[in-house]
Amino acid sequence: MPHGTDLLPPRYAVFGHPVGHSLSPAIHRMFGEQCGVALEYTAIDVTPAAFDDAVRRFLAHAHGANVTLPHKAAALALADECSAAARRAGSANVLTRLPDGRLAAHNTDGAGLVRDLTGRQQCALRGRRVLLLGAGGAARGVAWDLLDAGVGELTIVNRTPDTAAALAGALGVARVRARYWQDLAELGSFDLIVHATSAGVLGQPLVLPHGLATAQTVGYDLSYGSAAQSFLAWARAAGVRTACDGLGMLVEQAADAFVLWHGRRPDTDPVYAHLRTTGA
Ligand code: NAP
């Protein structure tokens, strides 16, 4: 006997506000074609006030949802159960309707970043000195995975210093420290600089000292498209070895959601190449 959920159409969506720019529908459709999985995937724009009702109504007749800004914390709060990755991040980017109708939350952002860094960008992490700029939802999502990947030192710097200190405290290990933004010029250089602020998305200028980078540094912006341009321009001017945006992370976190929902791991390289050449 098929389970009740199996009788539902294979529907998925990404919830955000705004969400029109989201590449998730295209990515999941390409994964589905590649793996022979028929699915319907749409983008649903919903305000924070309407998020809870909208996502519950959708998931009553669908299999899963991705969640993007500004709903990731709300997604975790409405779920009936959550993975360790979602709990420690304090947010979820994946919601899955379980066979008994309850909702499970997961966060695949950190795993997506680490796989893009260590694979596509060939950036070894073990023992490395890492600077994390920002302490918002995305920074919280990736910090644990950077530690799990064995980084030697994680320095967190945020415009609002208390938030960086709180994240460092939550991570709770000696190789993590929080520092003030105005002290950036005194921190020396890093092997990897992860830019996780929303300054680029907001069109706000980013002022960083060139001394943070050397010719061996990898500069990585979690944003992509025009939002990443300011950090990438700084990184290139500072002489980094590699400057990359978060498109690879986006595709990798989507692949982890696809595995959760369909039990198949798609090949992310052709999807990444397609999005790169079509100007994502
Ligand atoms: P968030 O929770 O709103 O946090 C924003 C962060 O940016 C805070 O640390 C904030 O500092 C800082 N900030 C904002 N404006 C700033 C400025 N002008 N100068 C310095 N710092 C500033 O947002 P989020 O969820 O962390 O998202 C951050 C970025 O990551 C977004 O661009 C998002 O698109 C990207 N992202 C990408 C992926 C992917 O798959 N590639 C996944 C997740 C997120 P305060 O604490 O001082 O306000």
Q: What percent of the chain has pLDDT over 90?
A: 92
Residue found by looking up tokens 């960008």 in the block: 121
The dihedral sign for the CA sequence 220, 142, 134, 229: positive
Averaged pLDDT, 208-228: 97
Q: What percent of the chain has pLDDT over 70?
A: 96
Q: What is the pLDDT of residue 3?
A: 47
Give residue 2's pLDDT band: very low, low, confident or very high (50, 70, 90). Answer: very low
Q: In what order do the strands lie in the sheet with 242-244?
A: 176-180, 153-158, 129-133, 192-195, 218-221, 242-244
| Domains of the chain: residue spans and CATH | 11-107+248-278 (3.40.50.10860), 110-245 (3.40.50.720)
Closest residue to atom 38 of ligand 1, CA basis: 222
Q: Is the CB of 250 under 6 A from ligand 1?
A: yes
Averaged pLDDT, 113-128: 98
Q: Is the CB of 223 under 6 A from ligand 1?
A: yes
CA 69 to centroid of ligand 1, rounded, Å? 10
Q: Is the CB of 90 under 6 A from ligand 1?
A: no
Looking from the CA of 124 toward its CB, the CA atoms found within 13 Å total 5
Statement: the pTM of the whole predicted model exceeds 0.75: yes
pLDDT in tens, 232-273: 999 999 999 999 999 999 999 999 999 999 999 999 999 999
Out of 71, 159, 194, give the residue to mutate to test ligand 1, the one with the largest number of ligand atoms within 8 Å of its CB: 159
Q: What is the pLDDT of residue 161?
A: 98
The answer on pLDDT for 11 being more than 90 is yes
Which atom of ligand 1 has the smallest separation from the CA of 160?
A: 47
CB 12 within 8 A of CB 64: yes
Averaged pLDDT, 101-109: 97
Residue 195 amino acid letter: H
The answer on pLDDT for 110 being more than 80 is yes
Q: Is the CB of 168 under 6 A from ligand 1?
A: no
Name 64's bridge partners: 12, 96
DSSP code string of 89-157: HT--SEEEE-TTS-EEEE--HHHHHHHIIIIIT----TT-EEEEE--SHHHHHHHHHHHHTT-SEEEEE
CA 134 to centroid of ligand 1, rounded, Å? 6
pLDDT in tens, 173-213: 999 999 999 999 999 999 999 999 999 989 998 999 999 99
Give the residue numbers annotated as catalytic, written as ranges: 72
CA 9 to centroid of ligand 1, rounded, Å? 35
CB 120 within 8 A of CB 272: yes
Closest residue to atom 40 of ligand 1, CA basis: 250
Give residue 126's pLDDT band: very low, low, confident or very high (50, 70, 90). Answer: very high
| Closest by CA position to 129, among listed 55, 16, 213, 196 | 213
CA 54 to centroid of ligand 1, rounded, Å? 25
The answer on pLDDT for 10 being more than 90 is no
Q: Is the CB of 207 under 6 A from ligand 1?
A: no
The answer on pLDDT for 134 being more than 60 is yes
